[in-house]
Structure 1
Amino acid sequence: MINGVNLTVRVYYIGDNASYNDQNLSFSYNYNNIANKTNIKLIKITSDNNVTIYYPTCNIGASKFLSLEEISR
């Protein structure tokens, strides 16, 4: 409970349809496609007043923004 609001936090694996052979990865998420272990975890936060926040995150490796130097290579 935060500031009088009940929050429920759940973590799921969701379907992973990315082509890992590409230099740039692109994902399209289906939050209802709960799967066994994949490379994408979905953190779902729901409040008791019907507000839901979805946060997909990589299960492996690390994500970061590219620097201008990396982009210009």
Structure 2
Amino acid sequence: MLWTNTQNALIELIYALYASASVAYGKISIRKLALIFQVIFRIPLNDLHHAFHRMKTRTGSRTVFLDQLKISLEEYMDKDL
């Protein structure tokens, strides 16, 4: 399976899952979680922590990918109404 969005989008998703303790009840390190996603999606995530620190200093929305996920899901839900 291939990840077809940006590396930053995947890193944002990984950090969101980590911060919400959504995987393994939060008892997994960010590095291990990232490694799992790298294997699943066959994508290297170089310098994970540096990418996250750049996200923290973004102007505007710091969660661009997560914001788009929410919009996409709501639009998909609205199609079925």
Normalising to structure 2: TM-score of the pair?
A: 0.22
Structure 1 or 2: larger strand share? 1
Q: Which has the higher contact order (CA 8 A, sep 6+)?
A: 2
Highest CA radius of gyration, 1 or 2?
A: 1
